[in-house]
Amino acid sequence: MRPQEILLPAAAGLCCKPGGFHIDPVRPVERAVITHGHSDHARAGHGAVLATQETLDMMRLRYGENFAGSTQVIRYGEEIRLGDVRVKFHPAGHVLGSAQIAVTCKDTCIVASGDYKDALDPTCTPFELVPCDVFITEATFGLPVFRHGDAADEVKKLLASVALFPERAHLVGAYSLGKAQRVIALLRRAGYDAPIYLHGAMEKITSYYQSRGIELGELRPAAGMKKAALAGTITLAPPSATSDIWARRFPDPVTAFASGWMRVRARARQGGVELPLVISDHADWDGLTTTIAATGAGEIWVTHGQEDALVHWCRSKGLKAQPLDLVGYGDEEESETPDAGETEA
Q: Is 237 exposed, middle or buried (0-12, 13-18, 19+ CB in 10 A)?
A: buried
Report the candidate in 83, 84, 155, 163 with the shortest Cα–Cα distance to residue 119: 155
Closest approach of Zn ion to the CB of residue 157, in Å: 24
Site string for Zn ion, 187-216 (x = CB under 5 A): ------------------------------
How many Cβ atoms sit within 10 Å of the Cβ of residue 14? 24
Q: How far is the CB of 116 from Zn ion (least distance, A)?
A: 9
**Residue nearer to Zn ion on the CB measure, 260 or 338:** 260
Q: Which stretch binds Zn ion (CB under 5 A): 108-116, 147-155, 159-167, 183-191?
A: 108-116
| Closer residue to Zn ion, CB minimum distance, 115 or 284 | 115
Would you count residue 115 as binding Zn ion (CB under 5 A)?
A: yes
Minimum distance between the CB of residue 172 and Zn ion, rounded to whole angstroms? 19
Question: Contact region for Zn ion (CB under 5 A) — 31-39, 169-177, 222-230, 249-257?
Answer: 31-39
Q: Looking at beta carbons only, is 60 or 220 nearer to Zn ion?
A: 60
Strands 299-305 and 320-323 come out as: parallel
Q: Is 38 in the site for Zn ion (CB under 5 A)?
A: yes
Shortest Cβ 40–Zn ion spacing (Å): 7
Distances (CA, A) of 260 to 67, 282, 283, 332: 31, 8, 9, 11
Q: Give the Å distances, CA to CA, from 277 to 72, 138, 244, 287, 310.
A: 38, 22, 20, 19, 25
Question: Judged by CB under 5 A, does residue 46 bind Zn ion?
Answer: no
Least Cβ distance, residue 245 to Zn ion (angstroms):
29
Interface residues with Zn ion (CB under 5 A)? Answer: 38, 115
